[in-house]
Structure 1
Amino acid sequence: MNIEELRDYCLAKPNTQEDTPFGPEHLLFKLAGKVYLLVGLDQIDELRFNVKCDPEYAVELREKYEHSVIPGYHMNKKHWNTVYANRQLNDEELYKMIDHSYDLIFNALPKSQKEKLKNGEI
């Protein structure tokens, strides 16, 4: 996976917004204003990104992929993982982690906001 493929995948997810609030070197992907993925735009040789993760699942992934998944760099380490894309993980596994992060945000939204997103009102 490269950064363009990562970006395309995130933007294909429903209601995703792309943002650069920390300057042009960091790209965030959000759902309903909440970040589900953060990536540095200077990463050409070694792509890594941060994704939100259920705390128990985060530990499981870190143990299973110790060379590719670490506690979130500059993030809440209980809820975020930094994932090195092209080490132990194939694209399918990376997509699952992105989906998990997106789903955590969506599932935490109030029911009314979920309905508005589904109906394209937001």
Structure 2
Amino acid sequence: MDFDAYALAKPGAWPDEPWEGDRVAKVGDKIFAFLPGEPGKAGRTIGLKCGATREEADEWLARYPERASVMAYIGRHGWNTIELDGIPDDEISEAIDYSYDLVVAKLPKSKRPVTG
């Protein structure tokens, strides 16, 4: 599955490269996904906000101890790095949806995308 396209198809989502070589999906001015890039490439990962708290995000670590890890620098805020190989696409899609929803909920109402 093309997770870049999936994330960027969300209402109000747009691509950015805030640091050289790091492609992200944003909504408003906030990142909701660190994008994996080229589909079909081995060792691809995606960075997502997997919980409102670190404890909630730890559920991914318990379920996929070999495929999920606390994201460097921002992990304490519920962000995980998830390896795409070995995890069903529908679970990754749901995690993208959840990350998006968590980030949108924190945006000021005036900056939230209009959904129909």
Q: Shorter-chain TM-score category?
A: 0.7 to 0.9
User: 2:37 aligned with 1:38, yes or no?
Assistant: no
- In the alignment, the residues of structure 1 paired with residue 36 and residue 4 of structure 2 have an alpha-carbon distance, to the nearest angstrom, of 11
Distance 1:98 1:38 in 2: 10
**Other-structure match for 1:12:** 9
**Gap runs ≥5 in structure 2:** none
- Aligned Cα root-mean-square deviation (Å): 1.9
Task: Tell me the amino acid that sits aligned with residue 59 of structure 1.
Answer: D
Determine the C-alpha separation between the residues in 1 that align with 2:56 and 2:24.
Answer: 22
In the alignment, the residues of structure 1 paired with residue 57 and residue 18 of structure 2 have an alpha-carbon distance, to the nearest angstrom, of 26
Question: Could you say which residue in structure 2 is the equivalent of 1:99?
Answer: 97
> Identity rate of aligned residues, in percent?
28
Q: Is contact 2:42–2:85 with CA below 8 Å preserved after alignment?
A: no
- Using the size of structure 2 for normalisation, the TM-score is 0.85
Structure having greater relative contact order (Cα 8 Å, sep ≥ 6): 2
Q: Which runs of 5+ in 1 are unaligned?
A: none
CA–CA separation in structure 2 for the residues paired with 1:58 and 1:14: 24
